[in-house]
Copies of this chain bind each other. A is one copy, B any other.
Amino acid sequence: MAIPRAAKTLRRTRIQEEKEEQILEAALDVFSVSGFRGSTIDQIAEVAGMSKPNLLYYFRTKEAMHRALIDRVLYNWLEPLRAFDAEGDPEAEIRSYIRRKLEMARDFPRESRLFANEMLQGAPHVLDMLKGPLKELVDEKAAVIRTWIKSGKIARCDPYHLIFSIWSTTQHYADFDVQVRAVLGEEHSGDGRFEDAARFLEQLFIGGLRPDGSGA
């Protein structure tokens, strides 16, 4: 008889590691496209190449699978913002933040869509994280931006909306990929659009945040 699944987390087998990995990979495929409600266990099982009961042996419910997936993906997703450094040069920091976020949109579009789906549905599974850890992290980085403003290194602006606009512009290339490609046309649907986007966004944010009295 199998031990109760609650105990599974105590000692993890090689098989457990592999299968759970395999399942979460398939779950990411499915959840990121159809959202939680629109996805079915059967779909995920098929993508994962195993039977539904086998899948449910590792994750007792659809909820548990979704939660495990979000938990695993969340930490890496916030890494670029965490790397935002108070000590660095504002212009370089903003540039590199945009670059990193765009790279993630290019290399991990499913993760981006997973969160986008969750947001559209009102964030039923991550609302506490948004109000807690995420808000704290953003508050912290907003404070950094405010010191840059106070020292005159960048223009006066609302740091929260600055962060929102970097999020939205970069994630757009993952979440709305199909629209971007349709509008750009077949010939510009290679990865070159990410380089073009990076160039444009750097120009936009660096120019838009240049302190009043500087340069020109």
CB neighbours (8 Å) of A196 from chain B are 158, 161
What is the CA–CA distance of A34 and B38 in the complex, to the nearest angstrom?
Answer: 7
Q: Top 8 nearest A-B pairs by Cβ distance? A: A37-B38, A38-B38, A208-B208, A168-B172, A130-B182, A204-B208, A161-B200, A207-B208
Contact of A158 among B173, B199, B216 (CB under 8 A): B199
CB neighbours (8 Å) of A184 from chain B are 160
CB neighbours (8 Å) of A210 from chain B are 207
Q: How far does the Cβ of A81 sit from chain B's closest Cβ, in whole Å? A: 11
Instruction: Say yes or no for A77: interface residue by CB 8 A criterion.
Output: no
Instruction: Say yes or no for A176: interface residue by CB 8 A criterion.
Output: yes
CB neighbours (8 Å) of A120 from chain B are 32-33, 35, 113, 116-117, 120, 175
Q: Are A168 and B176 in contact (CB under 8 A)?
A: yes
Task: Bin the interface of chain A by size.
Answer: 35 or more
Q: Please, which residue of chain B has its CB at the minimum distance from the CB of A207?
A: B208
Instruction: Say yes or no for A205: interface residue by CB 8 A criterion.
Output: yes
Instruction: Say yes or no for A131: interface residue by CB 8 A criterion.
Output: yes
CB neighbours (8 Å) of A32 from chain B are 120
Q: Are B121 and A157 in contact (CB under 8 A)?
A: no
Contact with B along A170-181 (1 / 0, CB 8 A): 011101111110
Q: Are B123 and A165 in contact (CB under 8 A)?
A: no
Instruction: Say yes or no for A148: interface residue by CB 8 A criterion.
Output: no
Instruction: Say yes or no for A68: interface residue by CB 8 A criterion.
Output: no
User: Known interface pairs A200-B161, A203-B157, A207-B209. Does A175 touch B119 (Cβ–Cβ under 8 Å)?
Assistant: yes
